[in-house]
Structure 1
Amino acid sequence: MWSYIFARDEDPITLGCLQVNIAAIIYFIMCFIGGGDFSFKINTIVVITILITGIAGTALAFVGQTYIQKYTTPSHVAIIFILEPVFGAVDGTIEMISSMKAIGCILFIASMLLTE
C-alpha cells in the first residue's frame, strides 16, 4: 500500500525499477550472509531462468503494478491485492482445493468487500 502513496507523486516506472533493484541487491547480499553452500554458475539455463522470472515475472509485474496504481484509487488497489489469494486458490483447484480453503477464500474476500 505504501507504493500507492509514492506512485501518485513520483514517476511510477522509476519507482518500480527502484523497488525491484533494491530487493535484488538485498537478496543477493543475504545469500552470502546466510552462509551455506552458495555457488553461482552461469550457463544457458540460468540466464534463461533469470530473464523469464526476473525480468518478465518480477520486474515487469512490479513496474506495471506501480504504474497502474497511479491511476486508480486506494480501495481498488486493496481489492486487486486481496484477489491474489483467490487466483492462487483457483489455480490450486487443479490440485484439489479443500472446502476449508474455499471457505477461507470466500470469507477473506467478503471481509474486504464489506469494509469497502
Structure 2
Amino acid sequence: MGTGIKWGVGLATPGLFLLCTDGSLSFNVGDILGAICGACVALHLLYTSHFARHADSDVYLLTTLQLSVVGLLSLASAQVRGQEVFVWHPELLWTLVVCVLIATIFAFLVQTTMQKWISPAHTALIFCTEPVFAAAYAYYAADERLGVLGLLGAVLILAGMVVSELLPDGAESETSVSVAAEG
C-alpha cells in the first residue's frame, strides 16, 4: 500500500467515526451490524479486485454472477422467513427501473470494470464518501444538521480522498522516476 493510500485511510477512518457517531463511544446492535457489513464490503472489494484483474476476466460475467448470487440468497432468506417476495405495485415501476438498472446493474458494472485498474484501498476510500454525500442530501432534503464533530468527520473523509490521490504511491512513483530517468 502506497504512502498516499496510508495517509488517506489514516484521515478517512477517524473521519468516518466522527461523521457516523458524532464522537460518541456508545455502540448498539445496529452499530455492530454496520461494522459486520463494513467487513463484508471490504471482502467484496478485495475479491472483486482479484477476479476483475485477471487478463481473461469478463466483467459482464463477473457482475452477473455477483448480482445473481445476491438475488438468490436474498430470495432464499425471504422464503425461509415466510416473507412475500414478488408483490406488484404498479406505482413503483419507475422507481424499480431506476433502482435496478442504474443504482444496481450499472453501478456494479462500473465498479467491477474500474477495479481492474483501481486498488481495493482506493475503491474503499471512494466508498467512504457515501455518508458525506448522504449527510449533504439529508441537509438539503430534510434540513438535518451535523454537529461540529460530524462536519469535522466529513472534512477528514474528503481530505483522505484528496491526499490519497495527490501523494505519490511508493512503488508507482519509483517506477515512473526510473522510467523517466531511462528515457
The answer to whether the 8 Å contact 1:4/1:66 transfers is: yes
The answer to whether the 8 Å contact 1:89/1:102 transfers is: no
Matching of residue 96 in structure 1 with residue 141 in structure 2: no
Residue of structure 2 equivalent to 1:82: 128
Number of positions where the alignment pairs a residue of Structure 1 with one of Structure 2 = 114
Matching of residue 105 in structure 1 with residue 154 in structure 2: yes
Separation in 1 of the partners of 2:121 and 2:87?
A: 44
Higher mean displacement: 99-108 or 39-48: 39-48
State the AA in 2 paired with 1:25: L
Q: 1:12 to 1:39 in 2, by over 3 A?
A: closer
Residue of structure 1 equivalent to 2:78: 31
- Which ranges of structure 1 fall in alignment gaps of 5 or more residues? none
Alpha-carbon deviations, 1:2-28, whole Å to 9, x = none? 211211112222111211111111111
Question: What are the residue-to-residue correspondences of 1:45-60 with 2, within 5 Å?
Answer: 45-60=91-106
Q: Percent identity?
A: 27
Residue of structure 2 equivalent to 1:19: 66
Residue of structure 2 equivalent to 1:69: 115
- Which ranges of structure 2 fall in alignment gaps of 5 or more residues? 1-44, 170-183
Higher relative contact order (CA 8 A, sep 6+): 2
Residue of structure 2 equivalent to 1:40: 86
Separation in 2 of the partners of 1:27 and 1:74?
A: 25
Higher mean displacement: 64-73 or 100-109: 100-109
**Which structure has the larger Rg over C-alpha atoms?**
2
